[in-house]
Chain A
């Protein structure tokens, strides 16, 4: 589904660059240079998310954020040149979905926008592939070589956390925190047991894992190359 993003920034050069980046990534875009224009476009175009600058010629982004949220509850990401803690915390404190500080790399913008959209619109892919293994999130099971194996609740949570990290490293603390509600000292061994069992279910050769990889001293990552 192609989401429509409204970009509110008073700098035309930056605006057209962001529009290009988003269009190339498959998003629909709409743009506004001021608060007034933003409100008009927000009503007319009904965007799925808004990228909002903090300093605008006819007002500030924080106030505009309040007005937009009164009209419709859409995800808003602040895109600001103000990097002070106060500004960042104010934006996030108001309930914004993210606060991106300028300058940023296109990839960073796309990743953060994508994460927000996935979270808000619950974009679910119920079946994904991990090499020869198919994971069925709906059933909480994995299928390999025509044989289906159910995942335990902990294994499911573990696999889900690693999958959501999109190939990035997830620390053992973050995994423990996802599995046992809080960073827990002494759970590392139990975590290793769950990882081993999970490998037995998703890897062709659990002793030489190709997907669920250990990052020594840090945690684990689920390699997404060759996945779908």
Chain B
């Protein structure tokens, strides 16, 4: 969804830029073509003008008055450079020309008049326009370069296209990120608000259920029901906590408070707290730590504790008491692997539908394991969930140094 919107935006900007470029280019070409147009009023009439000037044996007759617009003039130079015929020739235009004069005005201007010339058998026909009416430029180009023009043109086009695409990507990416940040903040605040509002009533439910459970005059059936209310409330509490943290990690709103951690010390304490909390009662719990010291890691102890707790809780919720749960760690290259192995469920994203759910929360939630994967990723590592018997989850974290 994210990438699609990004691509859509980038394509929109690119297509717009291309459209503008194409319209501008076509407009420029049309303008140049229309105004030079092989010289509707500049080049083309030369041949016709020449045809209109005829030597009848005694004198020149000119029938091209209509072809010459107001202000334009014409003259015919003999092979010797002498004006032998003229029509509306201005007074400041000389009567005699040398070879260098001719070479100069055919390329540039004649006494500041822009002129064109046409070679005839009896001389050179010169047609002039008013001063300042025409801009002339002499163009010469190496043939080889001319032949390479298409390649250059293509290269520049691709460069321009690349630049446009790059700019579009940056602009759209920035715009998209800002937009995403605003939406993320709103989403996170909403979840935060909801979870905040759930906590207080849930405290009351959990508190009274726990008290009921302890009441001496309760029938076993009612006690079991009170116990179910309490344990299910705890499931909701864990879910709310996980949901909140997942959202904060997802929106990059959870700052990591990293500190050096000795894995063995950390795991022993996490396991002791877990067992002291009574969650592991009835389970065969084992620690598997190597004799050699494990490499230190840089991690947020609160988050890492949360990940390990989620995995242990998941093991307990999906296994019957009597099962074994093993928590361990080992070094592998530049990584530290923390692993948890449980009878049937560590690492199982979906509860096994064929298995009857426990009253205490077989309603395991994928959020808990998703959070484990997110926490591992936030530390530059990853979580691997291996199905099989027993199920196993490995947290691969980069070792320090």
Residues of B within 8 A of A174 (CB): 269, 272
Residue of A nearest to B270 (CB): A171
Q: Are B269 and A173 in contact (CB under 8 A)?
A: yes
Q: How distant is A31 from chain B, measured CB to nearest CB, in Å?
A: 15
Bound complex: CA A34 to CA B79 (Å): 116
A193 near B: Cβ within 8 Å? no
Q: How distant is B37 from chain A, measured CB to nearest CB, in Å?
A: 74
Residue of A nearest to B288 (CB): A217
Interface residues of B in 265-321 (CB under 8 A from A): 265, 268-269, 271-272, 275-276, 286-289, 293, 302
B64 near A: Cβ within 8 Å? no
- B residues with a Cβ closer than 8 A to A are 192, 195-197, 199-208, 210-211, 230, 233-234, 237, 241, 244, 248, 254-255, 257, 262, 264-265, 268-269, 271-272, 275-276, 286-289, 293, 302
- A residues with a Cβ closer than 8 A to B are 11, 13-14, 17-18, 20-21, 24, 81-85, 101-107, 168-174, 183, 185, 215-219
Q: Are B302 and A85 in contact (CB under 8 A)?
A: yes
Bound complex: CA A24 to CA B212 (Å): 13
What does DSSP make chain B's interface, helix, strand, loop or mixed? helix
Bound complex: CA A33 to CA B288 (Å): 50
Contact A105 to B268, CB < 8 A, known contacts A17-B203, A81-B196: no
Q: Are A21 and B211 in contact (CB under 8 A)?
A: yes
What does DSSP make chain A's interface, helix, strand, loop or mixed? mixed
How many pairs, one residue from A and one from B, have CB atoms within 8 Å of each other in the complex? 97
Task: With A14-B203, A14-B204 given, name 17 new contacts (CB 8 A).
Answer: A13-B201, A21-B207, A81-B200, A83-B241, A102-B200, A103-B233, A104-B207, A105-B230, A106-B211, A171-B265, A171-B268, A174-B269, A216-B286, A217-B286, A217-B287, A218-B268, A219-B272
- Which of A17, A21, A81, A84 gathers most chain B CB within 10 Å? A81
Q: Are B244 and A83 in contact (CB under 8 A)?
A: yes
- Which of B195, B201, B230, B254 gathers most chain A CB within 10 Å? B201
Q: How distant is B192 from chain A, measured CB to nearest CB, in Å?
A: 8
Q: Are A17 and B207 in contact (CB under 8 A)?
A: yes
Instruction: Select A171's contact among B197, B205, B269, B302, beta carbons within 8 Å.
Output: B269
Residues of A within 8 A of B197 (CB): 81
Q: Are A107 and B210 in contact (CB under 8 A)?
A: yes
Instruction: Select B272's contact among A11, A82, A183, A218, beta carbons within 8 Å.
Output: A218
Closest 9 CB pairs of A and B: A217-B287, A81-B199, A103-B203, A168-B276, A103-B202, A102-B199, A169-B272, A171-B268, A173-B265
Residues of B within 8 A of A81 (CB): 196-197, 199-200
Bound complex: CA A105 to CA B230 (Å): 9
Instruction: Select B268's contact among A83, A102, A168, A219, beta carbons within 8 Å.
Output: A219
Instruction: Select B237's contact among A82, A103, A171, A185, beta carbons within 8 Å.
Output: A103
Bound complex: CA A84 to CA B254 (Å): 9
Bound complex: CA A84 to CA B286 (Å): 32
Residues of A within 8 A of B288 (CB): 217
Q: How distant is B45 from chain A, measured CB to nearest CB, in Å?
A: 86
Residues of A within 8 A of B286 (CB): 216-217
Q: How distant is A80 from chain B, measured CB to nearest CB, in Å?
A: 8
Residues of B within 8 A of A85 (CB): 254-255, 257, 302
